[in-house]
Amino acid sequence: MKRMAAALAAAMLCASGVVAVPVPAPNQAVIDGTAMPAKLSEFALFQPESAQPLEMLAPYTLNTPLFSDYADKHRLLWVPAGKKASVAADGTIEFPVGTVIVKSFGWPDFNGGHPVETRLLIHRADGWLALPYIWDADGKDATLAVAGRRVPVSFKSPDGQAHSIRYGVPNKNQCKECHSKSGVIEPIGPKARNFILPTNFASRYFADPAALKPVMPRWDDPKSGTVAERARAYLDVNCAHCHNPAGSASNSGLFLRWTDDPAGVNYGIGKRPTAAGRGSGGMDFAIAPGDPDHSFLIYRMESLDPGIAMPEVGRSTVHKEGAALLRQWIAEMPKASHD
Amino acid sequence: MRFYDVPRAACLSLAVAMLAAAPATAKTISVSATTPDANEKLQEALILAEPGDVVQLGAGTWKLTDGLSLDVANVTLRGAGAGLDGSILDFSGQQGAGEGLLVTSDDVFLTDFAVLNTKGDGIKSKGADRIVYHQVRVEWTAGPKETNGAYGIYPVESTDVLIDSVFVRGASDAGIYVGQSKNIIVRDSTAIENVAGIEIENSYDADVHDNIATKNTGGILVFDLPSLPMQGGHNVRVFDNDVRDNSTPNFAPKGNIVASVPAGTGVLVMANRNVEIFDNLFDQNGTSNISIVGYRYAYTDAKYQPLPRAIVVRDNQHGRAGFAPAFPGGAEMAKAMGGSIPPILWDGTGDAVVNEDVGVMSLNLPDLKMPQSAAKPSRVDLKGTAPAALPGVTLPAAMEAKVQ
């Protein structure tokens, strides 16, 4: 009903005498409201009874994406009419209230490529809200799952290996574990250095579209950067949302942002375990230069044991290709002289 | 004005005012262990709870596959008890999350439940000010194993922490670990068969008292480590504890700092200042009742202070100690000294005052770069004038009221 009313209102706004076909738009009242709707369709971000997004939403990509169990991720951005996002001096993007960031997760060879879940990051007047929705069996709508859920999925990774996992849809708190800066939720994917928006949307959504300079390398494209540069891009995107001084892993003292000193002990080089427990794997250092087999950063990336594995959330599969890149990076470092 | 500077009567009236200010809708959300999808239902309750609410755990064993988390302020998580008939959160089949329960909000009260066999840490609270852990049990039920999780009870980056009447067993790092926090009390608790029973690390203002630390590798540790956001640990009082028979062989995964703790350690102070150890009962700690040492690893952090300073030891009761020193060269030293080394062990760095009639052995390694093999052990007298006594820790009255 609400959607019909919105469409009607839109139609009435059109010049009289012209037959206007209302363009379906997201339900801004729901976006801006205080409710946590039980159904994804209430936001009207997708075509009715489908996972096909409205054309008004901007599809965006990232040079280097977060690994999520080899899921294909479809990312969308909605900035309400009349408002603009802007790029801050440090490259973070400031989105206006009313913005919705949408990310759908699926596998091309699972359930006909239909998404399993769609996560929303909604910028409301009192801050960002993260909501996970799991798609219903009929694929027509998705249902809020604030407590998350494990969903059995099967797929093949790029090397042809078959995986059957209990994929973890994160709960609302787990969303915040990653999307947290000093305890407040914020987006983590869209940063000017890593964010690619089609030009027509860039000029429509941004006050300063020229500031969107995706200079960060593609982790898997050797033409885009050296091994070290691509490894640092990978660490920034996959680890630094927690591993920064205001993130969930602040107490570890391991800081892996693109802007951190990659030679410093706080980047892991020669850094002893702090609260790693079994995560140390009996090794002395997070990164032992020249020796990936004795670098527990690698050990944790290659583990699936919850007491060892990193990241702690959002991974039920080892990202072999990512680990291989970091192995190569560490192997190519000059060995420390005291070894 | 800090809360604990307020006179007690004022505190009480303030506490009453706070109670009155709690939302009128404060409610109890009860969750049953036998409900289908108990894991999801419990997590949902922890998410949908509002400030002032109680999430009540039913009695019985909860088979949980995923870690739980709480991010709502001023919520109580209460079970039907921490014993066999109580509310037992069993994580033997855990598939995800780095801990059993993660708390990231302020003013949370955890009481009367047990957390068993988590793959990583037991209960972690991060940036959770004024948290109270009370009558909680965290246990790895197969006893000491390297595959057990690291920390049992693990508050970090928090101000005002109360750990009261908890029981922790089997942690492969520290049973009760308080890190990078301020204003801490750990009392009336039992830590058994952990690598470190109780550990206060990179923290300021802590009272550790009336605890039992037994059959750990090391009973009570007060540490400071480099390259962490908060360091310079100081003002820690360890008193009225029963620290005996900490004899479990070290089972920490190598690389972790506690993997270097010799079995048979009672209290170990490393690189901290203004630590007072008094009125404790020590017995049957084979390496030493009290060790005072510097941080002897390489580090690059220019701000780090690696020496123990202003350490005060007084008025403890010392039973048998030093009969099986489990550090390199220890056995030879014991033999040379007539079968055992003195109950107090000092590496010779920094400064300490020992004002009690008990033997002290220095390794005479005043330079941190000297290898342990260069030790020249000798008995020393560290009697002297102690710095002014620490004032002790007071917590906000509203926290104390929760456990009365």
Q: Which of A186-200, A306-320, B356-370 is most confident?
A: B356-370
- What residues 345-384 of chain B have any CB closer than 8 A to a CB of chain A? none
Contact A176 B104 (CB under 8 A): yes
pLDDT at B3 over 60: no
A211 and A148 belong to one structural domain: yes
pLDDT at A11: 45
Amino acid at site A80: P
Contacts of B298 in chain A (CB under 8 A): 338
Q: Which of A83-97, A239-253, B205-219 is most confident?
A: B205-219
pLDDT at A91: 87
Under 8 Å CB pairs connecting chains A and B tally to 141
Amino acid at site B376: K
**Segments making up each domain of chain B, as ranges:** 24-115
Final residue of a structural domain among A216, A251, A278: A216
Contact A148 B48 (CB under 8 A): no
pLDDT at B15: 39
Asked whether B120 and B145 are in contact (CB, 8 A), the reply is: no
**A interface mutation test: which of B65, B77, B94, B95 has the most A CBs within 10 A?**
B95
- Which class for A9: exposed (0-12), middle (13-18), buried (19 or more C-beta within 10 A)? exposed
pLDDT at A178: 84
Say how many domains are in chain A: 2
pLDDT at B95: 85
Contact B67 A306 (CB under 8 A): yes
pLDDT in tens, A266-312: 999 999 988 888 889 889 999 999 999 999 999 999 999 888 999 98
A118 and A234 belong to one structural domain: no
Which phi and psi (to 5°) does residue B117 adopt? 55, 45
pLDDT at B225: 95
Distance CA A10, CA A23 (A): 8
Higher pLDDT, A75 or A9: A75
A132 and A199 belong to one structural domain: yes
Token couple for B399: 């926290």
pLDDT at B20 over 60: no
Domain of residue A264 covers: 217-339
Mean local confidence (pLDDT), B25-37: 91
At A19, the pLDDT band (50, 70, 90 cuts) reads: low
A212 and A237 belong to one structural domain: no
A209 and A236 belong to one structural domain: no
Greatest CA separation for chain B = 71
Asked whether B404 and B397 are in contact (CB, 8 A), the reply is: no
Contact A173 B120 (CB under 8 A): no
At A181, the pLDDT band (50, 70, 90 cuts) reads: confident
Contact A166 B104 (CB under 8 A): no
Give pTM, 2 decimals: 0.89
pLDDT in tens, B309-362: 999 999 999 999 999 999 999 999 999 999 999 999 999 999 999 999 999 999
A253 and A205 belong to one structural domain: no
pLDDT at B103: 97
Contacts of B71 in chain A (CB under 8 A): 173, 176
Mean local confidence (pLDDT), B49-54: 96
pLDDT at A264: 86
pLDDT at B327: 93
Q: Which residue do the tokens 């990312």 mark?
A: A75
Distance to chain A for B249, nearest Cα, Å: 16
What residue in B sits closest to A264 (Cα-Cα)?
A: B300
ipTM, two decimals: 0.84
B306–chain A Cβ distance below 8 A for any pair: no
- Angle at alpha carbon of residue A264, lines to A260 and A267, rounded to 5°: 60
A209 and A234 belong to one structural domain: no
What residue in A sits closest to B154 (Cα-Cα)?
A: A275
pLDDT in tens, A20-58: 667 789 999 999 999 999 999 999 999 999 999 999 999
Final residue of a structural domain among A154, A187, A216: A216
Polymer length in residues for chain A: 339
- Listed in sequence order, the residues at least 6 apart from A67 whose beta carbon sits closer than 8 Å to its beta carbon are A238, A315, A319, A322
pLDDT at B23: 53
A226 and A208 belong to one structural domain: no
Distance CA A250, CA A182 (A): 9
Contact B255 A270 (CB under 8 A): no
Mean local confidence (pLDDT), A86-93: 90
Final residue of a structural domain among A216, A247, A273: A216
At B14, the pLDDT band (50, 70, 90 cuts) reads: very low
pLDDT in tens, B92-103: 998 877 899 999
Distance CA B7, CA A204 (A): 60
Residue A26 lies in a domain: no
At B16, the pLDDT band (50, 70, 90 cuts) reads: very low
**B interface mutation test: which of A144, A179, A251, A303 has the most B CBs within 10 A?**
A251
B44–chain A Cβ distance below 8 A for any pair: yes
Q: In this structure, are strands A117-124 and A100-106 parallel, antiparallel, or unpaired?
A: antiparallel
- The interaxial angle of helices A320-331 and A227-238, nearest 10 deg, is 130
Residue A167 lies in a domain: yes
Token couple for A74: 């479809």
pLDDT at B60 over 50: yes
Contact A273 B255 (CB under 8 A): yes
Residue A67 lies in a domain: yes
What residue in A sits closest to B104 (Cα-Cα)?
A: A183
What residue in B sits closest to A273 (Cα-Cα)?
A: B256
Distance to chain B for A49, nearest Cα, Å: 27
